[in-house]
Structure 1
Amino acid sequence: MTDDLENAQQGETPIEEISAQTPEERIAELEAALEEAKASVLYTKAEGENIRRRANDDIDKARKFALEKFSNELLAVKDSLDAAILIEAADVKSYKDGIEITIKQLTSVFEKFNIAEVNPLGEKFDPNKHQAISVLENSGEPNTVTSVLQKGYTLNDRVLRPALVMVAK
């Protein structure tokens, strides 16, 4: 009797009780267990779908707002350019000073976000970082960048834009 009580407390059905059940009662009990297992599987499946959907939403938000910090930093540069346009009585010197300050602001933003300038003047030509526009007959060392037409830029050491260069033949 104490064994029956312990088995009942542990959620087990005593052997005498199983044999005392009619086949219909046993079928009903098994069907109830089956329904409970189905409900558990459906709940687990739904929970997995919810996790996947939330992860996809988070990825979409990350893509959508990835540039938010960068964009906020660029707003200060835009504000400086707008302020320069509003100046009515200005000379070339004040415009030049304002442009230099704006370039410093933009350079600061680039540094914060690991955007580096590529100015390869005098370096060996590297097709991974430079784009040759023309080849010059020159007394310089062959395959060396002789002039830079447009600076290149890298983002975390990955080329954003190659430098447009002229190379010695």
Structure 2
Amino acid sequence: MKNDDQINNHVIKEKIDNTNNTIQDLKMKILCNEKKIQEIKLRNLANIDNFKKNIEKTTNEIKINNTEIFFQKIIPIIDSLEEILTLFDTSQEQHKPLIEGIQLTLQSFLNTITKFGVHLEGKKNEEFNSTIHDAVLYEKSSEITPNHVIFVNKKGYTLNKTVLRKARVTIAKK
């Protein structure tokens, strides 16, 4: 009997050891899976964060692009108002109210676009810069330094360092 009890005890001990080993293996697998789950969570959070950043970036690019397009559409209106003013004979009294109205409208446009970050480019005596100037003529000049603007044929405009339109200018040459 003792021998049977010893065998039974031995079998039971083996089963307990096997069960303990299985429990340890399962605990290790649980820990491993918990780590994997945590990594997946972190990856998903990073993906969500990247997605948000991409959406923000894309939205900002669209806003900037639409703003540039809007101001590019406004520039010809400003050009037209300036051209109209050059066509009127300012000495005639009958035209003065109309001229003043056009001048006020033009000034209002210029003030508004300036508030939104649009800058006028192209000034007399300024050094030629191919980024913001488009040379349409070269003339000899004794008054203006070579490679400087003699005359602004058409104003240029920039928005946040983006050229909306280059200034068309006449440049002094030697």
TM-score (ref. length: structure 2): 0.60
Which residue in the other structure is 2:5 paired with?
none
Structure (1/2) with the larger helix percentage: 2
Which residue in the other structure is 1:53 paired with?
51
SS at structure 2 position matched to 1:121: coil
Which residue in the other structure is 1:24 paired with?
22
Which residue in the other structure is 1:121 paired with?
124
CA deviations over 1:100-154 (Å, ceiling 9, x no partner): 2221221112221232222422344344443221222344345142222111223
**Paired residues, what number?**
134
Residues 22 and 132 of structure 1: CA distance in aligned 2, closer, same or farther (over 3 Å) = same
The one-letter amino acid of 2:104's match is I
Which residue in the other structure is 1:42 paired with?
40
SS at structure 1 position matched to 2:157: strand
Q: Distance in 1 between matches of 2:169 and 2:20?
A: 92
TM-score (ref. length: structure 1): 0.61
The one-letter amino acid of 1:105's match is S
- Does residue 155 (structure 1) correspond to residue 153 (structure 2)? The answer is no
CA RMSD of aligned residues (A): 3.3
Q: Distance in 1 between matches of 2:161 and 2:41?
A: 47
Residues 100 and 47 of structure 1: CA distance in aligned 2, closer, same or farther (over 3 Å) = same
SS at structure 1 position matched to 2:57: helix
Residues 111 and 140 of structure 1: CA distance in aligned 2, closer, same or farther (over 3 Å) = same
Shift of residue 20 of structure 1? 10
Identity over aligned pairs, percent: 24
Match of 1:108 among 111, 116, 126: 111
Match of 1:164 among 155, 161, 168: 168
Q: Which has the larger radius of gyration?
A: 2
